[in-house]
Amino acid sequence: MTTRISNELTRRALLMTGSAFALLSPAPAVALTNAAARGLVDDLVGEINRVIARGGSLPGMIRDFEKIFARYADVAIIARSTLGPDARRASPAQMRAFVEAFRGYIARKYGKRFQEFVGGRIEVQGVRQVKTWHEVISTAYLRGEAPFEVKFLVSDRSGRNLFFDMVIEGISMRLSEKTEIGAMLDANRGDIDRLIADLRRAG
């Protein structure tokens, strides 16, 4: 009986020492990427929190958001994915123009919404690897509302650590925009140039 207890204790002690060492020793590759993904979102959230703490004019906030989006998001892959299979028939020049127009559109559309966040904050909670990317889980605390979950999906496949989706309470920005871009393309009878022209005015 005594032996069993002391064995248990030793095992627990060992486990604890082990995990303490794991924290101290250089992290393995996966943990590093986890840390890198979290680091990216920490920086991103820091910038967002600064903007919503400062407040200011609408055009100013849209500009701020566009800068943040361009720096932290994988705009090219998000834009391309919202086009779906139609991306294949776009020429490189059309694709460049589309990505450019998409960036401005997202900045206007979501930058406007930033005003509702003034006085709120986002806190990063944790990170986990999912297939080839990392999911950084955070909580948004807005005034007069129950806290809600915001996930950032981060990948380094572009060569840099960038987020390629933002999921608010299960609602994916990328999937929602895919529906939107798909509807705009339909409205333009599949004409990518006219879609780009529409996108420059939208948001």
Partner 1 sequence: MRVMSTSIKSYAARFVLLGAVGAMTACSPAPPATGINDPWEASNRRMHAFNKSVDRNILGPAGGSYVTVLPEPVVTTVGNFAGNLATPSVVVNNVLQADARGAFTNSFRFVLNTTLGMGGLFDVATMAGINEVETDFGETLHVWGAGEGNYVELPVLGPSTERDAVGRIVDLFTNPLGYVLSEPEKYAGPVASVAKRLGDRGRYSQTVGSVLHESADSYAQGRSTYLQNRRYQLGGGAAATGDPYDDPYAATGDPYDDPYLQ
Q: Which residues bind partner 1 (CB under 8 A)?
A: 76-77, 80-81, 84-85, 87-88, 109, 112-113, 116, 130-132, 144, 146-147, 153, 155, 157-159, 164-165, 167, 169-172, 174-176, 178-180, 182-184, 186-187, 202
Sign of the Cα torsion 62, 158, 100, 182 reads negative
- C-beta of 46: minimal distance to partner 1 in Å? 24
Which is closer to partner 1, CB of 116 or CB of 193?
116
DSSP state of 28: P
Query: Could you tell me which residues come within 8 angstroms of residue 122 by beta carbon, excluding any fewer than 6 positions away?
Result: 45, 48, 49, 138, 139, 140, 141, 150
Positive or negative, the CA dihedral 29, 35, 37, 39 is negative
Query: What is the nearest approach in angstroms of partner 1 to the Cβ of residue 162?
Result: 11
Instruction: Closer to partner 1 by CB, 17 or 179: give it.
Output: 179
* Closer of 121 and 174 to partner 1 (Cβ): 174
Query: Contact, 41 vs 163, CB < 8 A?
Result: yes
Nearer to partner 1, 14 or 70 (CB): 70
DSSP 148: E
Minimum Å gap between C-beta 175 and partner 1 is: 5
Q: Within 13 Å and on the Cβ side, how many CA atoms surround 139?
A: 7
Least distance in Å: CB of 144 to partner 1? Answer: 6
Nearer to partner 1, 42 or 141 (CB): 141
CA dist 132 and 140 (Å) reads 25
Q: State in angstroms the smallest separation of the CB of 106 from partner 1.
A: 13
